[in-house]
Amino acid sequence: MTTTTAPHPSPALDPALVSRLAALVTAAPDRPRQASHAPFTGDVIGEVPTCTAEDVREAQRRARAAQVEWARRPIAERCAVMLRYHDLVLERQEQILDVAQAETGKARVSAFEELADVAMTARYYANTAAKHLRPTRRQGALPLLTKTTEHHHPKGLIGVISPWNYPLTLAVSDAIPALLAGNGVVLKPDAQTPFTALIAVELLYEAGLPRDLLQVVTGAGRVLGTPLIEGVEYLMFTGSTATGRTVAEQCARRLIGFSAELGGKNPMVVLADADLEKTVEGAVRACFSNSGQLCISVERMYVEDAVYDRFVPAFVERVQRMRLAAGLTWEAEMGSLVSQDQLDVVSRHVDDAVAKGARVLAGGRARPDLGPLFYEPTVLEGVTDGMELARDETFGPVVAISRVRDAEEAVERANDTEYGLNASIWTTPARGAELATRIRSGTVNVNEAYAAAWASHDAPMGGMKDSGVGRRHGAEGILKYTESQTVAVQRGLPVGPLPGLPLDRYAKVMTAGLKALRRAPFLR
């Protein structure tokens, strides 16, 4: 039985705060309103405007006008804004966490994980943007005679469509490098979690970001997605693979770039030489952080035969001791699901698996006594391909655990999926590092669930196969928001034929030169 505590009704957010945040949305004054509900209780948190295509176009007009002046600012000034933002996020964390919890139902520790990521992203790019964006000398066509330089110019206007599961960090952590690169941004947060995104944006304004440069529109993606894509030069999308395909088609028709982090069915491999105690704790975080509503969380676990009968009982016992609770406190390890739709998917996947022969080792039921959208952390054994959750993303607190002969079978089964977002391997560090390169996944964590790779902001993060296109974080996470330009200055002799030189003679001279350059050490 999962350990629980008495439900704590989610305290209402300050009405003045809710009103102030709603006023940040770019919308005509007569727009109808849409409510945001608290998953802990079902109560209304507040209302934001239901924007239209016309509002999207107005937001784009304002951001585009502000972008021209912003791009002229020295990079040091832009970076200073983000360092102030870093400080504000940490200073105001209690209020930010209250809003995030109230709107998502997640445990406070999961909300803090988001907040820390926002601060880390702001700090990383504030300290590295100048390096990533500076003009870079490249090897010229003719040594000493050709000076070639690579420049990076802002694309102009960036669209960001962010999801409900991490509505704080995924709303602004992709916008931060886009802004530092000199762009304007129009953000469309998920309709279920607008206030979490808005409080993050409000602090950016307080840190010194020009008010018009970052615009927010709220409403349904099916209404706002198309006009948003039609008026930007680049799109960053985080969401389902199915919606990602639609976004890709729309961007392709306009010949604009896009980046997308999509779905996952992430594996965890436990080998016989793993530290059992650390692996059990890591598995709990891997599977049940944010109630499993995490693109990079684990839904499939492969345990080597030699350790299976020791690891599984220890893992199940730890899962049964997990603390579930509603409320804005630190006591809970896991909170609520975000919506009835998510609860329905989790219940359907588990019920389907059990009906077809899977065994419930822990959890397996909803907990309406804690709140309308709670579901116990669930461990299943005996899951086979004929069951929905075997291959489909559940996006909830459910993991299917399987016995494998050895590391070879574990890697083979880990790769047996159309997804490739994240993976976790528990073994000795050297062995894990070698096996990690054989898993077709954008990030692989050795002796960690997901945070080590995710929080390595200097390294790219994204998915292979059906899990995404492009990368966030690192150099690629900011350069994708720029247009690369090559400027080549030629001195003395031209690259082409000299005037008056017969063309056959020109070809012979060039051939001799190319052969000589092949042996030039400075060109290798």
Active-site positions read 261, 295
Q: Which residues partner with 485 through β-bridges?
A: 151
Say if residues 18 and 45 touch (Cβ distance below 8 Å). yes
Helix (H) or strand (E) holding 465: strand 464-465
Nearest partner of 39 among 395, 398, 396, 370, judged by Cα: 370
Cα–Cα distance measured from residue 38 to residue 389, given in angstroms and rounded to the nearest whole number: 27
Cα–Cα distance measured from residue 319 to residue 174, given in angstroms and rounded to the nearest whole number: 33
Say if residues 388 and 354 touch (Cβ distance below 8 Å). no
Place of tokens 């720029």: 482
Cα–Cα distance measured from residue 236 to residue 238, given in angstroms and rounded to the nearest whole number: 7
Return the ∠ at Cα 295 (arms to 224 and 369), rounded to 5°: 95
How many beta carbons lie within 10 A of that of residue 237, not counting itself?
30
Strand, helix or coil for residue 87: helix
Report the relative pairing of strands 257-261 and 468-469 from DSSP bridges.
Answer: antiparallel
Cα–Cα distance measured from residue 473 to residue 456, given in angstroms and rounded to the nearest whole number: 8
Nearest partner of 305 among 438, 408, 429, judged by Cα: 408
